[in-house]
Amino acid sequence: MDNKTRIIGWMEYVDLPDLPLNNIKAKIDTGALTSALHAMEIKRFLRDGHQWVSFLTEDTAGDGLVKIEAPIKERRDIKNTSGVPENRIVIRTTIRVGDETWPLDVSLTDRSNMKFQMIVGRAALKQHSIAVHTNRAHLLRKKPRKLKVKVSQ
């Protein structure tokens, strides 16, 4: 491994600043080609003659659900965790991993029964000189602290 290769944990906190979602607990999954983000109530619509999507996802600040709208890049058959192809909407956004940011294609799917809100697949890591440590997590960023808000009475 050269000294430009960055080692990240098998689980990291990542940001999708364009959506905007921060501190997403993501599994870095080199077994998956495509990245996936938890999305519910996925609805397509037209905006200025272009296909867009709206969906609900977990608000990473801990405030429940947040509605997100984004242009649709494409629809693609993607194998789910059971290996069964699903036709999913794919959006293009930006991902921040540590202090690096780059474009990301992410599919939208209901991950309610999964442990992680997001899977970062190997296509997202390609060409970024990243190796995944299989025994360590959170090498780039520790778990964010929840801010306690005092309510005055």
Query: Phi and psi at residue 124, in whole multiples of 5°?
Result: -75, -25
Beta strand pairing call for 21-29 and 118-121 = parallel
Q: Per the structure, how many domains does the chain have?
A: 1
Query: Does 138 map to a domain?
Result: no
- Tens of pLDDT, residue by residue over 27-52, are 999 989 999 999 999 999 999 999 99
Query: Does 141 map to a domain?
Result: no
- Tens of pLDDT, residue by residue over 55-80, are 999 887 777 899 999 999 999 999 88
Nearest CA-CA partner of 39 in 97, 75, 89: 89
The CATH number given to whatever domain includes residue 101 is: 2.40.70.10
Beta strand pairing call for 100-109 and 35-38 = parallel
Distance CA 79, CA 85 (A): 4
Tell me what pLDDT residue 21 has.
93
Query: Does 148 map to a domain?
Result: no
SS3 content of the chain, % helix, strand, coil (to 5): 5, 55, 40
Q: Which of 59-63, 95-99, 146-150 has the lowest mean pLDDT?
A: 146-150
The parent domain of residue 116 ranges over 6-133
First to last CA, the chain: 58
Distance CA 18, CA 92 (A): 10
